[in-house]
Structure formats: C-alpha cells, structure tokens
Amino acid sequence: MGMDVHAYTLHPKTTPESRRDDAYAPPGLGDPDGTLPSKWFSGTTKAELHAFLASGLDLLVVAVPLTELTRHLLAAPEFEVLSEKKTFVSNVARGPVVHTADLIDALDKGLIRGAALDVTDPEPLPDGHPLWSAKNVIVTPHVSGNSSAYTERVLAIVEKNLTRMSEGKELTNRVSRKDGY
C-alpha cells in the first residue's frame, strides 16, 4: 500500500533471521520474511517506547497483548510525543493498554488527530461516557478480530503444528508464559 512501516516489539529483532516470522498467516498475507518494517524498535523502557513514537508516525496501530508491561502503555507522556505529528491512534488490542482519561484529554487538546477504538476501558462503554462525545473518535464494538474465516484459520494452525510436530520441529503460534502472551 506504499506505507513506510515501523515496528515495535518487546524483544529486539536486529538480524534478518530474527525478523522472519514462520507463524501462521493466511496464504498471500503476512510478512514471513520480515521485510515490510523499514525500522524496528524494541524494549521495555519509556525511552525506547518514546523513540519509536517519535519516529514520524502518521498512524499508530496498537496490537499488543494486555500484560503488566502494556497496561497504560499509552498515557499522557506518550500522547505528548505523538503530538509532534498529530498521529492518529487505532487500538485493536485491549482497552487498558490506553489510559482512557489521558486519551480523551489528548483528543480534546488536539494532541492527536483522532482515534479508532475497537476496544475501550471500560468495556462496554456506558451511556454518557466521555469517549462517546470525544472529538474525532470512531468506536466499534470489539469486532476487529472477527472473520468468517476464523474456523478455517484455526484448523490451518492445528494442521501446520501437527505437521511440524511429526517432523520434530518446534510448534508455531506458541504462548510464552514468561512474557504473558
């Protein structure tokens, strides 16, 4: 689509091998070779996160798990960093990843261009919640992961892992109990 993609991950991806992704992706989708991101950022500190957020993002798509490291990952200091480009924020992760009051404040002050929220905190949003009337916000009913191909894709992951297991290879799409996802 002609976008310059920047990625942020918990663990560094400094080599071409570490950027490859052999997890399941539907045929023709994904980035198995790890070639799309033109810049990779990683880490757990605010300084590392802010370096990523200050890298010239027009659109920030938040797609992280909810862990102790990601709870309120985006709050007032991060919206200040994003204000330089007036970045548009899309959250398809979990509501508590974004500090709701700070998001509303950033929207009201025009620090960010707007937000598309498939998830919120609280969820569901009660009647009269300030997000319903916040400037430049689209709220969807937590459906970004829905797909008519969901069952087909789950079965494809199972099939891929059965094949990998029979070949003595490591399973794909594994959960890291240490990282919490």
Q: Annotated catalytic residue: which of 123, 129, 159, 177?
A: 123
Q: Annotated catalytic residue: which of 50, 71, 142, 164?
A: 142
Sign of CA dihedral 171, 176, 180, 181: negative
| 88/129 Cα distance (integer angstroms) | 21
Neighbour count for residue 35 (Cβ, 10 Å)? 11
In terms of DSSP H, where are the helices of 31-75? 46-53
Q: Do 56 and 171 touch, CB atoms closer than 8 A?
A: no
Question: Could you tell me which residues come within 8 angstroms of residue 163 by beta carbon, excluding any fewer than 6 positions away?
Answer: none
Q: Give residue 129's region: left, alpha or beta (phi > 0; psi -120 to 50).
A: beta
Catalytic annotation on 94?
Answer: yes
Q: Annotated catalytic residue: which of 94, 129, 159, 177?
A: 94
Catalytic annotation on 71?
Answer: no
Enter the tokens of residue 125.
Answer: 């949003």
Catalytic annotation on 153?
Answer: no
| 177/144 Cα distance (integer angstroms) | 25
| 40/27 Cα distance (integer angstroms) | 24
- Catalytic residue set: 94, 123, 142
